[in-house]
Structure formats: C-alpha cells, structure tokens
Amino acid sequence: MTTIIEAAPGRKAAPGRDGAPTPMLSIRGLQTFYGKICALKGIDMDVNEGEIVTLIGANGAGKSTLMMTIFGSPRAREGSITYEGRDITRLPTHEIARLEIAQSPEGRRIFPRMTVYENLQMGAAINGFAHFDRDLERAFTIFPRLKERAQQRGGTLSGGEQQMLAIARALMSRPRLLLLDEPSLGLAPLIVKQIFDVIRDLNKTEGLTVFLVEQNAFHALKLADRGYVMVNGLITLSGTGKELLSRPEVRAAYLEGGH
C-alpha cells in the first residue's frame, strides 16, 4: 500500500514564486457575449499563487460574467484562460471544478431546503468525500456558527450565516484557488469584517489563493495584494491594493461616491 501524503491544510505555495513566477491563473484577451451583447470586451488578468486579487467595478460592469466565464458557463468566445499552465477555456464546468478551483457564486446560492451539513456534503461531492470528516472539522473551526446550525436548513440561516456556508461549502473541495463573488453583498458591516478576516486568515495560514469580486471597494482593496478595476467589460486600472486605494479615479468612483 502506498502512503498517501496528507494534504495538510497548511499547504505551501509552490516553488517558483520568486524570479518570474508563472501566474496560477492567467486570462488573455477574454471576450464573452450574451447573445449579441458583449459583456467582456477583452480582459487580461493574472492571479499568482498565494495572492489575494480583487476585481472591483460598478454594478453591471461584467465582474460576475468574468467569474462565471472562468468556470466555463457562459463560455468565452475569444481569448484564453490558463490555469497552472493548462488551457481550460473549453473545459466543461464540472471538470474545471476538479482542478482544485472552487467558486462561491453571486447571491450565495446555498441549497435552502438542505441542512447546513448536507450543503457542506455537496461541496465535498466532487472529491468523493475522501477526507470529509476532517474537512468538516476545518469548516466548523473556521465558522463555529455553522457547527451550531449544522442541522438547520440552509434557507433558515441569516444572510451572514448563508455567506459563511457558501464559503465553507466552496472550501470543502480543498481548493487552491477560491473565486468569491461579492461575499459582502447585503451584509452588516460587522459580518463583512468577519468574512474578510476569514479570507485573510485562509490566505495567510493556508496559502489559499483568492480571487475576490467586490463592489465594496474599500474593504476589498485593503485586503487584496493586487486589484483590477472593471468598467463596462474592460479593465481600466490595475495595481496593488494600496496604489488603487490612493488613485483619485478610484476614490471618486468607488469610495466616495456612495458604495
């Protein structure tokens, strides 16, 4: 019998971060259409291993479309998406999810009639429940609230708890890259802070790479290593979180304007 090397939660970033790192996720010239409407008009973007990268932009800019396109639905019409050197542009959605990429889609989308526990099971379905018990413990350590509510139906959780569940469910597949779409949507500031703290911790302690789509630009940019600003299906600005926070355009459009 071969010894299975434990994929311990504290996974180290792959070597090759220094020098010229090849990005973990690399998007080039990506275009996505809804019928005739062009939602993404040629996106270039990189996410390096171990980073938190945020994408900010107004409502309808195309942020969710980009996140879903990475997951293959809708499909990109032009351009390429490369994950760890492999072209995944045309891969079926369920196979993309097998590549240790997990996604928490916009609006949380937990299963309302299933219990918290069953929701978490669904998150682990993809790797065949191989280390389910341990991952469940980990999810409950990250979000103790979920442990108390394990037998409650997802639909009866509060908004913040549902978001925790959505993230915990995505983590159950042991992803190395986590895509989060507006986790702060409709949540009280205190809960937003909790959730962002969790994201930071996961990144710091486990080396989880995070791609965070947000409208809450201030918190997102403070948290992120790097950020991109999207306007009408195009990336207009990019830089480190600090840089973007100090840019007058960003301040005017996303920080002081009311968001």
Partner 1 sequence: MLMDTKTPVPGAASTAARPAPPFDAVAALKSAAFSGAVTLGLGFPLLAYDTHPDISNALVVLPRWSWAIWAAVIVFAGRFIGLMVGARPRAAKRPQQLRVPSRSEGFVKANLAWFAVAALVAFPLVMVGALGANGSLKWINNYGIQILIYVMLGWGLNIVVGLAGLLDLGYVAFYAVGAYSYALLSTTYGLSFWICLPLAGILAAFWGMILGFPVLRLRGDYLAIVTLAFGEIIRIVLINWTDLTNGYAGISAIPRATFFGVPFKDGEGGFADLFGIEYNPIQRTIFLFYVILALALLTNAVTLRLRRLPVGRAWEALREDEIACRSLGINTVNTKLTAFALGAMFGGFAGSFFAVRQAFVSPESFTFIESATILAIVVLGGMGSQIGVALAATVLIGGTELLRELDFLKRIFGDGFDPVQYRMLIFGGGMVLMMIWRPRGIIATRSPSIFLKERKAISGDMVKEGHG
Q: Which residues bind partner 1 (CB under 8 A)?
A: 71, 73, 92-98, 102-105, 109-115, 117-118, 121-123, 125-126, 128-129, 133, 136, 150-153, 156, 169-170, 173
Instruction: State yes or no: residue 216 binds Mg ion (CB under 5 A).
Output: no
Instruction: State yes or no: residue 36 binds ligand ADP (CB under 6 A).
Output: no
Amino acid at 38: C
Angle, CA 222 vertex, CA 257 and CA 225 arms, to 5°: 125
Instruction: State yes or no: residue 123 binds ligand ADP (CB under 6 A).
Output: no
Structure tokens at 253: 């459009």
By DSSP bridging, strand 226-231 and strand 52-57 are parallel
Spatial distance between the Cα atoms of 119 and 176, rounded to a whole number of angstroms: 20
Instruction: Please report how close the Cβ of residue 54 comes to partner 1 at its closest, in angstroms.
Output: 19
- Which residue's CB is nearer to Mg ion, number 106 or number 225? 106
Instruction: Please report how close the Cβ of residue 182 comes to Mg ion at its closest, in angstroms.
Output: 6
Spatial distance between the Cα atoms of 136 and 115, rounded to a whole number of angstroms: 14
Instruction: State yes or no: residue 89 binds Mg ion (CB under 5 A).
Output: no
CA distances from 110 to 114, 153, 163, 256 (A): 9, 10, 8, 32
Binding mask 64-93 for ligand ADP (x = CB under 6 A): xx----------------------------
The site for ligand ADP, by CB under 6 A, has a size of: 11
Instruction: State yes or no: residue 103 binds Mg ion (CB under 5 A).
Output: no
CA-wise closest residue to 130 among 165, 174, 169, 94: 174
- Please select the residue that binds Mg ion; options are 26, 32, 64, 163, rule is CB under 5 A: 64
CA distances from 31 to 23, 38, 40 (A): 20, 7, 5
Binding region for ligand ADP (CB under 6 A) out of 60-68, 127-135, 138-146, 197-205: 60-68
Instruction: State yes or no: residue 62 binds ligand ADP (CB under 6 A).
Output: yes
Structure tokens at 160: 């913040």
Residue 175 partner contact from ligand ADP, Mg ion, partner 1, none using kind-dependent CB cut-offs of 5 to 8 Å? none
Residue 118 partner contact from Mg ion, partner 1, ligand ADP, none using kind-dependent CB cut-offs of 5 to 8 Å? partner 1
115 bridge partner residues: 153
For 139, phi then psi, to 5°, come to: -60, -40
Residues that bind Mg ion (CB under 5 A): 64, 106
